[in-house]
Structure 1
Amino acid sequence: MRNMIRILLLSLLSIGVGADELERLPKWELGLGLAAVNLPDYPGADQSQSYVLPFPYVIYRGARLKAGREGLRGLLFESKRWDLDISAGGSLPVNSDDNRARQGMDDLKVSLELGPSLRLKFVDEANEKIQLRFNLRALLAADDFPALDYEGWLFNPELRWRRHYGDRYVLGSSLQVRYGSAEYHDYFYGVAPQFATATRPSYRANRGYQSVGVNGFMAIKIDHNWRLTANVGYYDLHNAAFDDSPLFKRNSGAYFGLSISRILWRSQATVGPSRIDDIVL
């Protein structure tokens, strides 16, 4: 009887250790992916482009620096209700020769958006997050790569929801408003005098309201190494500060994307359970 009790206790302890090991995650994961996306040339354009692009799959779960599905984040301050971090985004280039409204103008270059993000946490559970984010980002365009030129700023309040369903699925959505500086809007909608034509007068954009948008995504863990992500979004540009620009063609637009990726390498070092804001799938 004593031996049976000992075996039972050892079994329970081994189960507990196994569960804890399952909760721990590699500090970093590296892999490759392929994404298919359809995007308007720029918000308000009447033309869009489809891309099939390879990309590096990078996950990093540091104490202050994190990288995942939403890009790079640097955590500056954290409390029970508030976080302050540095967030980043970006956009793809546009060849002006492929866009009727911009023909003869300079191309829109690859750009980076970088700045602080203040987050108010309404729900901060292990499997669900609801946050109000106040993002302020500078637009940095690679006009002379690798140099980056400052092209204004964007203020982007965002209400965001995320939820895990088991260990294989994540669903999320967001509602956001965008307000930009005159320089930011002028980068996309301004027409310099040398690019003016009979049908495209010169134009200088103003600071003000840009758009309201909604977005949804789903991430699926197919197996230990394969990941699938789908996202779709819609934005409305009615009453935008630049709606009298000759480059402004549509009051609304949509975009969607699908990506698949495979993890190739993982670190031996592990960290505790990751926050839902990171990619844990």
Structure 2
Amino acid sequence: VGHFDLPRMQSAGVKIQFFALFPDITASLSPLRQVLILGDYFWEQYEESQEIMQLITSHQSLLQLLGLKKCGALLTVEGGEVLEGDLRMLRVLYRMGVRSLCLTWNNRNEIADGVAEMQTGGGLTLFGREVVREMNKIGMIVDVSHIAEKGFWDVLELCEAPVIASHSNSQAVWDHPRNLTDEQIKGIAQKKGVIGLNFVADFLGEQGSGLDQLLRHIDHICDLVGDDYLGFGSDFDGTDNLLAGIDDVTIYPELISFLKKRNYKDTTIRKICGENCLRVLNAVL
């Protein structure tokens, strides 16, 4: 059944979903071929769903979507190894409709080191710098989730547009390599970017933690940098270990109720639920 489908997306009131094409680096097929196959499957499904869904590929298509009752899809790729060290592959993905690239997964690729390689101290490679510049040029969102810290700071120094950490949490609240330090959170805020909270239990707190633990991450990030830089990233269908109390995408109305009970203002809730993300989309696309 999974965590997500279009009927549940609609019932939960989700307006825009990022759909990640994620290659399995242990598979026999190359990452590029995997992503092309996944992309073809996405387009098959999208062509059957255009009455209720619209693909976001430009500022104009975003504005059009906001005036419709349809749901929006933004196509992304998780893991820059898919480019195989060839900048032309980035433009191929762009022509396929991809509008965001998570530069690394946990491993090292031609762009940079992931968090599993943190001990090497490796940052952006020369190719990685070309990728970031090209993404700025053509209008793609740079995603720094999974990247090792040296590469993170290289990206923030080089990138001319807001960046996102699409599915990351606070390391000060829960010390995990996939989470962001306070300085990294401040860096994303200075770039006018967004951090998408990850619902994976391992990245949030001790086993058995519930929604209160997710709200501790929200509290900390808002206390640190304000409410303009936070969103929901979820990682639905990217894990089999969601936080206790979260079963699927239909959790969002309950999360909103939790925030209201924590005395979060309606203006802040609207920012976290979508306005912050819309700001980045408007700035980059």
Query: Normalised by the size of structure 1, how large is the TM-score?
Result: 0.28
Q: Which structure shows the higher helix fraction?
A: 2
The higher relative CO (CA closer than 8 Å, separation ≥ 6) is in 1
Rg comparison, structure with higher value: 1
Q: Which structure shows the higher strand fraction?
A: 1
